[in-house]
Amino acid sequence: MNNNSVLTFIIKKVIRFTSLLFALCALSFVLISNSPIDPVKAYIGADMMNVGPEQRAKIEQYWGLDKPAHEQFLSWASAVARGDLGDSKIYRRPVIEIISERFAASLLLMGTAWTISGILGFILGIVSAVKKGSWIDKVIKWYCFVLASTPTFWLGLLLLIVFVVWLGILPIGLAVPAGVLKTDVTLADKLMHFILPALTLSILGVANMAMHTRTKLIEVLNSDYVLFAKARGESDWEIVKNHGIRNIALPAITLQFAYFGELFGGSILAEKIFSYPGLGSAITEAGLRADVPLLLGIVLFSAIFVFSGNLIADILYKVVDPRMRGISAS
Amino acid sequence: MSDYAINTANKKKQKQKFTINRRQYTFGVIGLSILILLSVLIASYALPDSNIATNLNAKNLEPSFDNIFGTDWLGRDMFTRTIKGLRLSVAVGALAATISVIIATILGMIASINDKCDLAVSWFIDLFLGMPHIVFLILISFALGGGVKGVVVGVAVTHWPTLTRIVRAEILQIKTSDYVKISRHMGKTSWYVATKHILPHIVPQLLIGYLLLFPHAILHEAAITFLGFGLSPHKPAIGIILSESMMYLSTGMWWLAFFPGLALIIVVKLFDVIGENLKMLYDPSSAHE
């Protein structure tokens, strides 16, 4: 009974997820195929003058551009269903290869920022709530208040000025030093180039989590059972440990999974500033240079990424919380 | 913010003879914020275009009394560029907020018709929230062939889902309230209920939602411009200023990035403050959140 209801819930979610994903594919495809940007022209660039109408027709035929839109969509969709996203026009390699390669780099970046900002935000939120009204609470609140509206790219630029230009202790960009063979790049090099983008993303992610945790914990601390715990003589820390964290941990984790979308957006900007070769810089390039297969591929991938985050959040909320289980079992 | 407000109000009580209450303080904050925003707008028209003409005699100047934000590598006054860029941001923000409010109202109303419509609207909201926002902006910008149009339309048509969620929840709540049920039993039409009962209740929500959309819209406009989509490099826009500054940062010209970004944050925060404070006035219980 219990397992069944959880299973139906997950199946329902997955169906919704699939329908949304299919609609997103169609929407993206319609948007892109109606673009006035001529893919042939964008691909060839300045040499367009040297391309005759016959050559052009050949290129269009090769890419299938001469077929009507719905046929293009069907052939694209069936290829996608088989796991074939086509070839990137700027890299001349299968899109799926580029995505998996770039995603590994981005995942490292986003994963680090996600973990650090989640844990740090949670701790800051708890401190702020427990010491409500004190100077440390005010500092944390102001930090969050300002950071909630700070553009990722501006923060990145500031870090760049301070650590690279003024202090000169970190390298300026790219994932590896320039002019060094791939085999000669050490782990330390990679780490040095990784610090700034990860730091940018982490600092920004903290605000969201800290404010949320603070609000929730204050709510808990104002409850009758905490008053009772105080009356029993529990210390501040015991109250937070026994009554606070248990109540606020799950919403916080859910929030952090629902944060995937913003995290992805942030990584696009951070990767642009630091020329970090991840998915974010790939989509910017694909958009600017009209690489339709790559653009579509990454759009799809980002949607799957966000949906999975939301899906995990929803499922965690239902499945992990023992109180929810109690309701479905009865 | 709320604690801060109380503390400052309390301190003022202790120090000065004349006192202001919480409500007056809130009005004061809103008034001051509007005043600053207006002066930015007026300044953006008042500052002469000659300030941002190429002037190689005054290039790469550090901030000083003549050029408080410094000058760039073409001798253009950064203060003028920033202020004019902020005007564009505010204009894009206003357009995005207006369109979002219209879409949110219409969809919110549609959702309230019956369960199926409600399901469809929620599905739509999920669809539009399913992509990272910036990815969506890149996609729309590409679909419209880039340029100013791509950026403006993209920012304008992607900010409605969150507001729609709020409006939808609000309408559903009003619809199930007793007085609406009584009104229905008395034979009032759906149109009557919608315009006389529901609309007056959601107008303040819409106004606050309108203001709170500005920060998001402005920041997204700056972000997408920063990535290089849309606006031509000659247009004064914060995103362009910041992405240009990247090339000059390594030579130590920190003011190219620092001041424009700071000004952007201040403008965004002012909208935020106006919206949040209005929300407190309209719904005092939210002040304790």
What single DSSP character describes residue B193? Answer: I
Q: Is the ipTM of this complex over 0.85?
A: no
A23 contact residues in B (CB cutoff 8 A)? 127
Residue B19: pLDDT over 70:
yes
Residue A284 burial class via C-beta count within 10 angstroms: exposed 0-12, middle 13-18, buried 19 and up: buried
Cα–Cα distance list, A306 to A212, A215, A315 (Å): 20, 25, 14
When scoring B89, B135, B238, B246 by the number of chain A Cβ atoms within 10 A, the one with the most, hence best to mutate, is B135
Comparing C-alpha atoms, which of A37, A28, A35, A42 is closest to residue A85?
A: A28
Report the residue from B142, B222, B250 with minimal CB separation from A172: B250
pLDDT tens digit sequence for A223-267:
898 899 889 988 888 888 888 888 888 888 888 888 888 889 888
pLDDT band at A329 (very low <50, low <70, confident <90, very high): very low
B254 contact residues in A (CB cutoff 8 A)? 161, 165-166
pLDDT band at B133 (very low <50, low <70, confident <90, very high): confident
Structure tokens at B100: 């979002």
Residue A330: pLDDT over 60:
no
Task: Report the DSSP beta bridge partners of residue A87.
Answer: A94
Q: What Rg value do the Cα atoms of chain A yield, rounded?
A: 25
Residues A220, A303: Cα–Cα separation, whole Å? 35
Comparing C-alpha atoms, which of B59, B46, B89 is closest to residue B256?
A: B59
Cα–Cα distance list, B260 to A90, A271, B78, B264 (Å): 34, 21, 8, 6
Give the pLDDT mean for B5-32. Answer: 70
Residues B194, A162: Cα–Cα separation, whole Å? 56
A287 contact residues in B (CB cutoff 8 A)? 138-139, 141-142, 227, 229
Residues A199, B146: Cα–Cα separation, whole Å? 31
Looking at residue B162, its pLDDT comes to 86
Question: Which amino acid appears at position A315 of this protein?
Answer: I
pTM of the model: 0.82
Structure tokens at B127: 């669809």
Looking at residue A119, its pLDDT comes to 92
Percentage of chain B exceeding pLDDT 70:
88
pLDDT tens digit sequence for A195-206:
888 888 888 888
Give the pLDDT mean for B112-140. Answer: 86
Percentage of chain B exceeding pLDDT 90:
0
Q: Residue ranges of the alpha helices (H) in chain B?
A: 2-15, 22-46, 78-111, 115-129, 133-143, 147-157, 160-175, 178-185, 190-192, 199-226, 238-249, 255-282
Contact: A215, B222; criterion CB under 8 Å: no
Residues 6+ apart with CB under 8 A from A201: A109, A110, A112, A113, A117, A152, A263, A266, A267, A270
Residues A159, A15: Cα–Cα separation, whole Å? 43
Residues B135, B144: Cα–Cα separation, whole Å? 14
When scoring A128, A161, A306 by the number of chain B Cβ atoms within 10 A, the one with the most, hence best to mutate, is A161
Q: How far is A308 from chain B (nearest CA, A)?
A: 10
Comparing C-alpha atoms, which of B126, B121, B92 is closest to residue B105?
A: B121
> How many CB atoms are located within 10 Å of the residue B8 CB?
13
Residues A315, A248: Cα–Cα separation, whole Å? 17
Q: Is A174 left (phi over 0), alpha (psi -120 to 50) or beta?
A: left
B287 in Cβ contact with B23 (< 8 Å): no
| β strands within A242-298, DSSP E | none
A127 in Cβ contact with A218 (< 8 Å): no
pLDDT tens digit sequence for A268-306:
988 888 888 888 888 888 888 878 888 888 888 888 888
Looking at residue B1, its pLDDT comes to 47
Biggest distance spanned by C-alpha atoms of chain B: 78
Residues A12, B244: Cα–Cα separation, whole Å? 48
